[in-house]
Amino acid sequence: MPNKPDNVLIQKWMPQFDILCHPNVKAFITHGGLLGTTEAVHCGVPAVVMPQFGDQYTNAKALEASGGGVILDLSTMTEQDVYNALKTVLDPSFNKQAKELSVRFKDRPMPPLETAIYWIEYVARHKGAPHLRSAAVGMPYYQYLLLDVIAFLTFIGLAITYILYTIFTFFLRKIFKRETKKLKKQ
């Protein structure tokens, strides 16, 4: 990168989670992907989110609503918008909100690894836990994909369209027949 400042480090890959959890990190500029958003919340780092597609908009709105970040519109933002967003997330009260969000996020009855182990053992104890399986597992594909419902609604839509077309053409013929008779009389 030409004219790179001395305090900017460029690498092909960096351990994002470890960096976010470092106590010197004050803010995170992100596109709002689920993993980066979750890591920022876990580490209590406020974020400036610039979503671009997919779930990033939903993640950004959820983060902003919970007090963990600010959203910028990538297509319309200006240098002043970036400055204002960074000024907002670097404010100590905003940082406090992000830390409180992290505390709420981490408040669980047991750690995620223990939760995963519990459910694996639960399924093993109950021989696959068939009582927890979705009813969709045994459905035929035409029902699972709602093809029968789609076919029925398509049929109803076509029937209504045909009926409306028939009524419309019937009235048009009546109107044009009258007009034709009036013109012949003149």
Tell me, what CATH number does 59's domain have? Answer: 3.40.50.2000
Residue 117: inside a domain: yes
Task: List Cα–Cα distances, 79 to 36, 85, 112, in angstroms.
Answer: 23, 10, 40
Does one domain contain both 100 and 29?
yes
Does one domain contain both 32 and 96?
yes
Does one domain contain both 147 and 113?
no
Q: Rounded distance, CA 138 to CA 104, Å?
A: 38
For residue 71, the SS3 value is: strand
Residue with tokens 């012949």: 184
Residue 78: inside a domain: yes
156 alpha-carbon distance from chain centroid: 33
Assigned token pair, 96: 């406090």
30 alpha-carbon distance from chain centroid: 15
Per residue in 128-152, pLDDT (tens digit) is 999 999 888 889 999 999 999 999 9
Residue 7: inside a domain: no
Does one domain contain both 115 and 177?
no
Assigned token pair, 1: 């990168």
Q: Domain span at residue 86? A: 16-107
Q: What is the pTM of this model?
A: 0.65
Per residue in 27-41, pLDDT (tens digit) is 999 999 999 999 999
Instruction: Tell me the CA end-to-end span of the chain in Å, nearest whole number.
Output: 86
Per residue in 47-94, pLDDT (tens digit) is 999 999 999 999 999 999 999 999 999 999 999 999 999 999 999 999
Does one domain contain both 120 and 163?
no
Predicted confidence at residue 186, as pLDDT, reads 67
Residue 82: inside a domain: yes
